[in-house]
Amino acid sequence: MNRSTILPHFLAALSAIIWGVTFISTKLLIAEGLTPLAIFIYRFILAYLCILPMMRRFLAASLRDELTLALGGLAGGSIYFLTENTALGITFASNVSLLICTAPIFTVLLERTIYGTPLRKNLLGGSMIALAGVALVIVNEGMEFEISPLGDFLTIVAALLWSSYCLIVRRLAKKYDTFFITRKVFFYGIISVLPFFLMNTGKADYALLTRPIVWGNLIFLGVFASMLCYLMWNVAVRRLGADNASNYLYINPLVTIIASSIILEEPFTVYTFTGAIAIIGGVFIAERGGGVGIKRTSTPAMTENV
């Protein structure tokens, strides 16, 4: 690290730390009475309004690309966030942040299945280590704290959705810039569930927005965790390269574990710690062997709570 890269390194680390806190923020909003759907709609509308002034083009070059963007809005937008947010309502935030880390492994496996991409030697070993960590986290939760593993299952589904989104973006990134892709994903994510939201939201639900803890967390998620972190991450990737910047993503679940233990008073046991080390270490090994990272093939604004 030299003087010219101190700022990009700082921005990458700050983005990862903020994304680690998003799981806590979403959990707090659910506790206040907001539904996973409402959190998604409010957050994405805020992020979309922030990115709208940067719009340079409105439509994709072809109908096929436009439909692919719409699919990305479902896989990496509405369905992904609804699944993840629902999981946060029924399981620990630390569990969600850890299990989402399996997305790079699923991405490599999907690439192998769809494109026939050869599997590299470190992938199998890293995957087995990470999956052992996943099993440890889920079994620990189910046996120690008597909480339904449904939330963990939904998180795995979210990780699979994100992997699919990564492949969609990889195809689109050859023709379109990340601002355009992200804005379109925001747009299609919103309109895909907006009618359902309007039909099932009443005055009492809108009244929740008057609470400082609610609008404060929504601003944090929509403006800071999405738009601001997106800009910071772009600077970091441009200056450091995607591989070097992506290494900071391993801070993400560790921040969530520490924050959830302090803010939400979630249990932090030796099983959680061991599972966390196994998942993060396994994914790191698999990534080095498989060549795929959470942010390398995706738009940064989308991958936090996540």
| Long-range contacts formed by 199-202: CB under 8 A, 24+ apart | 200/37, 201/38
Cβ of 58: how many Cβ atoms within 10 Å?
A: 9
Q: What is the 3-state secondary structure (H, E, C) of 218-286?
A: HHHHHHHHHHHHHHHHHHHHHHHCHHHHHHHHHHHHHHHHHHHHHHCCCCCCHHHHHHHHHHHHHHHHH
In this prediction, residue 1 carries a pLDDT of: 59
pTM value? 0.80
pLDDT in tens, 262-273: 888 887 777 778
Q: What is the pLDDT of residue 167?
A: 86
- Which residue type occupies 199? M
Task: Give residue-wise pLDDT tens across range 52-95.
Answer: 887 788 899 999 999 999 999 999 889 999 999 999 888 888 78
Please choose, from the candidates 25, 132, 20, 13, the residue with its C-alpha nearest in 3D space to the C-alpha of residue 85: 25
Q: Say how many C-beta atoms besides its own lie within 10 A of residue 118's C-beta.
A: 9
CA 143/CA 239 separation, integer angstroms:
46
- CA torsion angle 5 52 206 35 (round to 10): -60
Whether the CB-CB separation of 80 and 162 falls below 8 Å is answered with yes
Picking from 280, 235, 238, 234, the residue whose alpha carbon sits closest to that of residue 255 is 280
Spatial contact of 295 and 245, defined as CB atoms under 8 Å apart: yes
- What per-residue confidence (pLDDT) applies to 302? 44
Would you say 95 and 151 are in contact if contact means Cβ atoms under 8 Å apart?
yes
Q: Residue 73 has what pLDDT?
A: 93
Low-confidence ranges of the chain (pLDDT < 50): 145-146, 290-306
Residues 6+ apart with CB under 8 A from 288: 122, 126
The radius of gyration computed from the CA coordinates of the chain, to the nearest angstrom, equals 18
* Residue with the two structure tokens 């560790």: 254
Q: What pLDDT score was predicted for residue 147?
A: 52
- Identify the three-state secondary structure at position 298: coil
Domain ranges within the chain, ordered by starting residue: 3-302
Residue 204 CA to residue 201 CA, distance in Å, equals 8
